[in-house]
Structure 1
Amino acid sequence: MNDKLNLFFEYLTVELGLASNTRLAYERDLRLFKEALGLKDNDALATVSREQVIRYMTGLKNKGLAAATIARKLAAIKSFYRFMTAEGYLEIDPAEVVEAGTKGIKLPKVLNQEEVLKLLEQPDLRTDEGYRDRTMLEVLYATGMRVSELLGLPVSGVNLQMKYIIAFGKGSKERLIPIGGIAVEYLDKYLNVVRPKLLHTKNPNIKNLFLSMSGNEMTRQRFWQIIRGYGHQAGLNKELTPHMLRHSFATHLLDNGADLRSVQELLGHSDISTTQIYTHLTNKRLRDIYEKAHPRA
């Protein structure tokens, strides 16, 4: 279980892009949760029931804790068990239907279309590394895939002739994602020119589409470093994470007229309520435009 906890904390940083202080808060909240339930070790976290989670949350409310504090503690617990079920370590998520009450909607951070363009233009296309990086960024923005899906994507999951990618999402679920002409052009050269150069003689049969410069699988930590570096290079006043391009993908689709169900399918969300957060974001943008532009706003 210690290994699973460490994987979860790595997931918080690399996949979700949470700041170190937030990660430490999650660690602290999970420790307090374990202590409150009288669990002696980390392994016992895998045996927690829905009723135990509810009793714990009820106890926090009875102590008079602020709603925001309770919601944050529940967020840590829900994130942990969502990770455990998505990775196949648990069959049932004991925190899935537990709610902490309303505390407002936290909107995801996104890049506008001009910022995305600046980011995409940063890699040096004269080098193999730069061309690989540009291709990864183009594919990520073109598909809205999770970074784990991108880095685990096999060469066989790409069909350039039909212009689609097969993404392998949470719970080993597959989904078909169309890709645009620009991403296809970069992928074509990457597959035929750049990737063969990256293949190492000791590992010539590696299936992953995107490789490290040493010819091995690229880690999520390394990709996170790459995108953050290009963000600084582009002068973007934001701490970039791979997930921010996924958020931008969804928001820009909705901004340009895509329907919510289609975006849900492209993102691989099992519940449309997860996708609806992006409508709040687009609505906020429209409200900002209205208030700046309407003479009687």
Structure 2
Amino acid sequence: MNSTTTYFDTRVDTSKVYVPMNFNFKPRNYENSSGKSPVYLHVTSKNKRKRIHLDVYINTQYWDDKSAKLSGPKEIVCDTNLILDNIRAKITNIQTMYKLSSKTLTIDSFMEEFNNEMPRVNFVSFMKKLLADRKNTISPATYEKEYSIYKKLYAYKEEVLFCDIDNYFFLKYRSYLAGLGNVATTRNGNVKVIKKYLRIATKAGIKLPIALDDIAVGSTKGNRTYLTAFEVKCLYDYFTATYISKNIKIILGYFLFSCFTGLRISDVMNIKRDDLKHGVHTFNHIKTGKQQVIKLNGKTKDIIGMCPDLFITKYSDPYINETLKSISAHVNINKHVTFHVARHTFATNFILLGGNVVKLQMLLNHSDIKDTMVYVHLAEGEKNTDMNLMDNLF
């Protein structure tokens, strides 16, 4: 059986000639047990020929050779024709992107693109596919963060063409994020991740109408919210109360453990209770991969001892942060408290209590001491608030 043939000329850069590549749909001449025949996509170029099984089965009595579609009652042919139209669109997308990228589309490269299904027109689909491919090679925390950014982009617009990504796109998208209530640092963080995936796309040969270096990200460093010694004590007193529920005690135990060690949530959730039985914990940071040894202080040992389920029962990051919000409101802490606030709390109070900034850099596992110096400035700001004590002089 014959069908209409789609032509696309792909330039061979070395000889400046055009090589035709033909695509056509053909049903096979045999029927399966259901009386239907499979449809194949035939791809030919020069003396090469490839055949792709499309997992599409038809009743051949409805097949029209001229249109390479089914012709018959709508309720019978509509869904199959939609599938075939989508395949045609996929072929066109591959051809278009190779043409725009000035790349030679060979029969082998077409087969790879078609079978791997890497979207080269819609950036949203591209990001989703790449996230799925990278899931097992990046940390769960990184995947979760970047997937949440993809979901926001998808909610904004399901289709963002690569050819439409310019400064105006980022202007509109930043405005959209602001409308969601995202602060400037969060908006900048979203742009930073999008720019990262666009860079991967350009390395794959996809062209953009804007130079990536022209995309300004801005600062992604948010305000370092921390808890004062009094606020930490309020949480500690609440933690020791006999009336709180088990899950609140566990979550608050994790948070307080981080307040006295400075560990990130990813590292805390990776600890097993047996790891701490000798009072020393040796581990590799999830974020940096660097090894570190910490010696548990008395408060952390007390926290572990008062909560037998700590480092046995684990919770998701969103659930922990939502619970911390409720706990903070209950003890009248009027700050936006997430788990990462514990790390800022440890660092700021470490400096306030006379700790050395170089030692703090080691404890926080910072590569650059400039990141650690932020807490010195926060501590200085905290000390300046003590000037109000002079109001009580007389």
TM-score range, shorter chain: 0.5 to 0.7
User: What is the aligned partner in structure 2 of residue 205 from structure 1?
Assistant: none
Which amino acid is the alignment partner of residue 168 of structure 1?
H
User: What is the aligned partner in structure 2 of residue 147 from structure 1?
Assistant: 265
Shift of 1:287: 3.4
Q: Deviations over 1:124-154 (max 9, x none)?
A: 4465445433432331111111112111222
Supply the RMSD in Å over aligned alpha carbons: 4.7
Shift of 1:2: 2.4
The answer on whether the counterparts of 2:265 and 2:339 sit within 8 Å (CA) in structure 1 is yes
Q: What is the CA–CA distance in structure 2 between the aligned matches of 1:141 and 1:71, rounded to whole Å?
A: 24
Q: Which has the larger radius of gyration?
A: 2
The answer on whether the counterparts of 1:165 and 1:176 sit within 8 Å (CA) in structure 2 is yes
- 1:172 is matched with which residue: 267, 271, 289? 289
Which amino acid is the alignment partner of residue 128 of structure 2?
N
TM-score, length of structure 1 as denominator length: 0.58
Which amino acid is the alignment partner of residue 157 of structure 1?
D
Shift of 1:177: 2.0
Q: Deviations over 1:221-273 (max 9, x none)?
A: 12112211211111111221111111011000011111111111111222211
User: What is the aligned partner in structure 1 of residue 370 from structure 2?
Assistant: 273
User: What is the aligned partner in structure 1 of residue 237 from structure 2?
Assistant: 121
Higher strand share: 2
Q: What is the CA–CA distance in structure 1 between the aligned matches of 2:369 and 2:162, rounded to whole Å?
A: 33
User: What is the aligned partner in structure 1 of residue 256 from structure 2?
Assistant: 138
Q: What is the CA–CA distance in structure 1 between the aligned matches of 2:376 and 2:353, rounded to whole Å?
A: 12
SS of 2:225's equivalent in the other structure is coil
Q: What is the CA–CA distance in structure 2 between the aligned matches of 1:153 and 1:282, rounded to whole Å?
A: 29
The answer on whether the counterparts of 2:258 and 2:343 sit within 8 Å (CA) in structure 1 is yes
SS of 1:171's equivalent in the other structure is coil
Higher helix share: 1
Q: Deviations over 1:165-189 (max 9, x none)?
A: 6363313333222221122133235
Q: What is the CA–CA distance in structure 1 between the aligned matches of 2:262 and 2:381, rounded to whole Å?
A: 21
Q: What is the CA–CA distance in structure 2 between the aligned matches of 1:270 and 1:141, rounded to whole Å?
A: 21
Deviates more, 1:166-175 or 1:247-256: 166-175
User: What is the aligned partner in structure 1 of residue 300 from structure 2?
Assistant: 183
Q: What is the CA–CA distance in structure 1 between the aligned matches of 2:255 and 2:196, rounded to whole Å?
A: 27
What is the total number of aligned residue pairs between the two structures? Answer: 228
1:238 matches 2:238: no
Alignment of 1:215-294 (within 5 A): 217-290=314-387, 293=390
TM-score, length of structure 2 as denominator length: 0.46
The answer on whether the counterparts of 1:140 and 1:245 sit within 8 Å (CA) in structure 2 is yes
From the superposition, tell whether residues 73 and 236 of structure 1 become closer, same or farther in structure 2 (CA, over 3 Å): closer
From the superposition, tell whether residues 184 and 292 of structure 1 become closer, same or farther in structure 2 (CA, over 3 Å): closer
User: What is the aligned partner in structure 2 of residue 2 from structure 1?
Assistant: 128
From the superposition, tell whether residues 134 and 243 of structure 1 become closer, same or farther in structure 2 (CA, over 3 Å): closer
Which amino acid is the alignment partner of residue 238 of structure 2?
Q
Shift of 1:106: 5.7
From the superposition, tell whether residues 169 and 262 of structure 1 become closer, same or farther in structure 2 (CA, over 3 Å): farther
1:111 matches 2:263: no
The answer on whether the counterparts of 1:163 and 1:184 sit within 8 Å (CA) in structure 2 is no
From the superposition, tell whether residues 280 and 156 of structure 1 become closer, same or farther in structure 2 (CA, over 3 Å): same
Which amino acid is the alignment partner of residue 255 of structure 1?
L
The answer on whether the counterparts of 2:256 and 2:342 sit within 8 Å (CA) in structure 1 is no
From the superposition, tell whether residues 239 and 129 of structure 1 become closer, same or farther in structure 2 (CA, over 3 Å): same
Larger relative CO (CA 8 A, sep 6+): 1 or 2?
1
Q: Deviations over 1:79-125 (max 9, x none)?
A: 67799xxxxxxxxxxx9xx987899x864111111111112222444
Shift of 1:219: 0.9
SS of 1:122's equivalent in the other structure is helix
The answer on whether the counterparts of 1:151 and 1:219 sit within 8 Å (CA) in structure 2 is no
Structure 2 unaligned regions, length at least 5 = 1-126, 136-140, 172-182, 198-211
Q: What is the CA–CA distance in structure 1 between the aligned matches of 2:228 and 2:316, rounded to whole Å?
A: 27
The answer on whether the counterparts of 2:272 and 2:311 sit within 8 Å (CA) in structure 1 is yes
The answer on whether the counterparts of 1:146 and 1:246 sit within 8 Å (CA) in structure 2 is yes
Alignment of 1:3-42 (within 5 A): 4=131, 10-11=144-145, 27=152, 38=163
SS of 1:175's equivalent in the other structure is strand
Q: What is the CA–CA distance in structure 2 between the aligned matches of 1:13 and 1:180, rounded to whole Å?
A: 37
